[in-house]
């Protein structure tokens, strides 16, 4: 997990979309006002004149591209309250206040940025960016009548760790994702939070987070599948919407919550955001708190995505059932270890099961192994891939937990 420098990943522009929301909101309010006027006995000419004036105002008030709001991550050196007041005076709002780093996430009109940058309370302002899940579309077979051992769990010898009673007891593993199916019969969720809307449930409305959770800790029972660490405690940290998309600032808020709540392992099967210094600082804070962060390397067959590319984050590439490097997997600086990620069968939303492929599926094999043992690098299997593809090798849960080097079935 060596330090990585920014690779020049471009921030995704968000101002246009934000401005559309603002403009649409104003037009909606004005439209409602017109409807109220229709219920009066005003003369037709007066209604026409007022409607015309409101339309002109809407055109004038609707912000240009330079005036539209955007989301930003702000490093502060003043008390949070003072910095928040400065943002609100500039016409913005505070989205998140981070507990473990001196930063806040804000939404503010673009024309106010220059003034905020000159404010002595503010150290730095970085654009927020959009991230997404790292998985291929699912295939959903019927719910199996009996429990099966997925090939990825078998390949990393997790079942041998289970035989020695290494099940992840006492480990708290957070799935920073789309949420988890809270009523799935093969999963137990100990707690969580909806970062997007704290007033709402952290239940999974996409399916991706539930799939990831099953790889980590599906129960050892008579149905479905079994995870790497079936006795670990799962926590759902919902940071992505039903489409599997979200903001970097929300992911940061999720990681911040994990540090504060004392998680042992954090899995982030997501990526695509830009380099943000405060996110790196947050990963450093997690490491200082002995929180292990695992992230998917990405599925673009190119450079490793953020957050996997940050220092103090374990970046995971994907392999198939023949130990070949997955064609879609990212590689290079930032790959620390490899894990199964092709055609992985696991739990899914609605109490079901599905087969997915992606580095999203590789990362939770590593997160589950960390719930068994922290000794994952020296015990990883050399599968004779270049280091830029496999890092230290293929994760070996059996050896990491028990210390036994070879169970006789390491070959695919």
Query: Is residue 365 among the annotated active site residues?
Result: no
Query: Is residue 162 among the annotated active site residues?
Result: no
Selecting among 269, 357, 360, 373, the annotated active-site residue is 360
**How would you classify the pairing of strands 69-76 and 103-109?**
antiparallel
87: nearest Cα among 36, 131, 126, 122: 122
Please list, in sequence order, all residues whose beta carbon lies within 8 angstroms of the beta carbon of residue 388, skipping any fewer than 6 positions away.
331, 332, 333, 335
Cα separation, 118 vs 114, in Å, equals 6
How large is the angle between the packed helices 208-217 and 359-372, nearest 10 degrees?
30
Selecting among 177, 323, 381, 396, the annotated active-site residue is 177
Q: What are the helix and strand counts (H, E) for the chain?
A: 12, 16
Selecting among 96, 208, 211, 365, the annotated active-site residue is 208
Cα separation, 13 vs 218, in Å, equals 38
Distance from chain centroid for Cα 64: 32
Cross-sheet strand order for the sheet of 130-133: 245-247, 130-133, 270-271
Using alpha carbons, list the distances in angstroms from residue 318 to 52, 90, 163: 60, 46, 26
Cα separation, 242 vs 346, in Å, equals 19
Backbone angles phi, psi at 294, to 5 degrees: -120, 140
Query: Is residue 243 among the annotated active site residues?
Result: no
Q: Which residues are catalytic?
A: 177, 208, 360
């Amino acid at each position: 997990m060596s330090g990585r420098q920014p690779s020049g990943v471009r921030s995704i522009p968000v101002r246009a979309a934000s401005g559309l929301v603002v403009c649409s909101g104003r037009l909606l309010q004005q439209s409602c006002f017109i409807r109220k006027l229709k219920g009066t006995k005003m003369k037709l000419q007066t209604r026409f004149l007022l409607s015309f004036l409101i339309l002109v105002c809407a055109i004038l008030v609707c912000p240009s591209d330079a005036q539209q709001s955007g989301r930003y991550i702000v490093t502060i050196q003043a008390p949070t309250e003072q910095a928040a007041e400065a943002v609100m005076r500039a016409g913005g709002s505070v989205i998140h206040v981070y507990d473990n780093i001196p930063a806040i996430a804000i939404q503010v009109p673009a024309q106010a940025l220059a003034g905020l940058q000159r404010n002595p309370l503010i150290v730095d302002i970085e654009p927020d960016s959009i991230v997404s899940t790292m998985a291929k579309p699912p295939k959903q077979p019927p719910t199996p009548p009996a429990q099966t051992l997925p090939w990825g769990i078998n390949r990393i010898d997790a079942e041998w760790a289970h035989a020695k009673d290494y099940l992840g007891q006492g480990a708290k593993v957070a799935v920073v994702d789309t949420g988890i199916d809270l009523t799935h019969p093969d999963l137990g969720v100990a707690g969580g939070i909806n970062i997007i809307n704290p007033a709402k449930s952290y239940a999974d409305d996409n399916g991706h987070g539930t799939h990831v959770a099953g790889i980590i800790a599906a129960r050892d029972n008579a149905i479905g599948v079994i995870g790497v660490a079936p006795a670990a405690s799962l926590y759902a940290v919902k940071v992505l919407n039903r489409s599997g998309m979200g903001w970097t600032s929300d992911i940061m808020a999720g990681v911040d919550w994990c540090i504060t709540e004392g998680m042992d392992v954090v899995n982030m099967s997501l990526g695509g955001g830009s380099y943000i210094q405060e996110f790196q600082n947050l990963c450093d804070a997690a490491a200082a708190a002995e929180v292990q962060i695992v992230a998917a390397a990405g599925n673009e067959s190119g450079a490793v995505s953020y957050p996997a590319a940050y220092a103090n984050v374990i970046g995971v590439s994907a392999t198939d059932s023949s130990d070949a490097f997955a064609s879609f997997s990212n590689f290079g600086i930032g790959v620390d270890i490899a894990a199964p990620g092709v055609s992985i069968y696991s739990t899914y939303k609605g109490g079901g099961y599905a087969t997915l492929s992606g580095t999203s599926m590789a990362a939770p094999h590593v997160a589950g192994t960390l719930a068994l043992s922290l000794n994952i690098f020296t015990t990883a299997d050399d599968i004779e891939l270049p280091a830029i593809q496999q890092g230290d090798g293929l994760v070996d849960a059996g050896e990491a937990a028990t210390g036994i080097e070879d169970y006789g079935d390491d070959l695919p």
